[in-house]
Structure 1
Amino acid sequence: MESKEIFDLIIIGAGPAGLTSAIYAGRANLNVLVIEKEGIGSLLMAHKIDNYPGFSDGITGKELYEKMKKQALKYGVNFRKSTLLGIDLIENKKIVKTDSENLLTKSVIIASGWAKNNFSKIKGEKEFLGKGVSYCANCDGAFTKNMIVGVFGESEEALEEALFLTRYAKEVIMFTHNYKKSFPNDKLKIVSKAILEEIKGNDYVEYVEINENDEKKIYKVDYIFLYLGTKNPTELYSDVAVLNSQGYLITDDNMKTNIDGVFAAGDIREKKVRQISTAISDGTIAAMEVIKYIAKNKNLKELNYEKM
C-alpha cells in the first residue's frame, strides 16, 4: 500500500542523530516523519550516560531518548513504528518502503545507527542469498516461472508481492504469523501462525523448516522472498549510497551521500568517533542541509512530484 502524502523529509532511525535532525527540521516547518523500531537502539540500551554535557549526575539512554522525542513532537514531527524494507529511487522520486506502507518523500536522512547487531539473519538466509533467497519480487519474480514460491512477512506489501508472484509461479505460499485474510486466487495459499526457522537446500533453496502452531513442519519451495526486516545495511542502502567494506555509508562533510537529497548521520556513517555528541553533530548538519535542499527545490519541478 502506498501513501499519497508527500513528506519533505523522512528520517530513518530515532537515535540521537535522527532525533536531532527531526528537531531542526521540525522547527523549520518541514513535514517530517521519523521511522523507528520499537525498543531497539544503542541509546535506549544505555544504562547510564555520564559524558553527555548538561547532565552532571548522568542520565539513562531511555530518559534522554524520551526528552529528545518530546522536543521533536513539540515541533510537529510525526513518528511511525515500522521496519524499513528499502529505499527506491524512481525518476527522482524517493520511496521509502516499510512493512506497513510505501512512503513518498522529497529527502531522506539515514540515521539508523550501526545495525550490525540488529539484523538477526535466518539460518540459511546468507548462504542462499541469490540462490533462491530474494527481498524483491519485482526484481526477481520473473525467475520463478513454474516454481513453488514462499513469501514470508506480516505486511500489506508482503501480500501484494505474493499476489504479484502468482503471475509467474506455479504456487505461492505466504507464511505469516498474524495475517488472517484469504483471497480468491487459486495459486495463493496462506499459512498462518508460521515462523521461519531455517532455509535448506544444496546449491539452491529446496525447502524451509517452519514452526507452525508450535509444531515443526517442512515445506518444499524453490524460491523464497523475505519481508522480515533482516536485511543488513549493504542490502538496504547500496542503491542510495556508497558503502565502505565494513558496511558504513560514505558521505561528505555535509552528510550528503552520492544521491541528491539522500543524507546519512550518526553511527551508520563512516567516521572515526561514534558518540552521542558526534551523532548529534551529524544530525544537526544533515538537517540544515535538508532545509537548504528543500528551499532550493521549492518548485520541485526536477523532483517530478507535481503529477503524483
Structure 2
Amino acid sequence: MIQDIAPHKMDNSFAHEKPRPESVFFAFQKGNILMKKGADGTQTLPTLDMLSGSFEEIKERAIYVFSVDERPMFLLMRKDLDEGMIPEDLEYGNPRELYQEDQKWAALAGVTAGHLNHWYAEHVYCGCCGSLMDFGTKERAMVCPKCGNIQYPRISPVVMAAVTDGDKLLVTRYAGRPYKGLALIAGFVEIGESLESALRREVMEEVGLDIKEPRYFGSQPWGFSDSVISGFFTELDGSSQIRLDRDELSEALWLSRDEIPPQESPLSITAAMIEAFRKREI
C-alpha cells in the first residue's frame, strides 16, 4: 500500500525546519504535482535550487511539511509560485507517476503534501470572522489572530467492505469515475456513526445486502480524498441478490477466487484486500 515505504521513514511531526537549496519541494496545480522528468521517462520530485529567482525570497514562502529519512521537505503554495520561476524541464503530472520500486516514499510524500496543500488553500481566511489566518507556531494548525478560531488538517474517515459469500467476493465498478477497474464498497463515515455502523449502511445503500460482523483488515492514508481508509472483511448474511445503486456503481458482481484477475496496483488498500482474498490469505 502507499504507506509501505520501508526501509524509508516519513516523520510528519510538527517542527520548525529551514529550507536549503537542495531541499525537495512540492507544488500543485489542479490536483497535479510538479515533477522533473528524467531521460529514462521516470518522474522525480524537484528541489528548490531548480527554480529561477532569488533563493532568499523562495525560502520565505516555503512551508515545512515533513521529513523523509531526516530530509526536510517543503510546500510552495500556488499563489507563491510564479510561472516564470518554473524551468521547462519541470511539469505537472499525476502524483501516482512518482511511484517507483526503488523510491516508494516519493508517491506517499507527494500525495500527503497534496493533502496538506488542499487544506492550507481552504484555510486562508477564518470561517468564523473572515480574517486572514496565521500558521500555528506550536502545532500544525491555522489560527485566527482575531477570534482565536483554530483549524487542524481535515482527515475524513472512510470504511471499505470486502463482502464474501463462501468462495466468492463481491466486487464493484464505479459509476461516473475515470477509474474503471475492480473496486470494493466504500464510503465516508457519517456524523454519529461507528466504523461498523457505517460499513453496514454503505453495503445496504450500494448493493442492498445484509452483512455479519466485520473483521478488520488494515488501514491506509489516502490524501487523494483527504481521508484515511479502514478496510474490513465481512460475510454475507442472508440473500445474495444484489440491488444496485446506479448513482454510485455501474456494476456489482460475485467472483470466485479463480475468476478474480491479479491486481497490479501497489498503492491502494482496495487492491491489497482483493489480492488477499484471491491468494487465499483471507
What TM-score do the two structures reach when normalised by structure 1? 0.25
What TM-score do the two structures reach when normalised by structure 2? 0.27
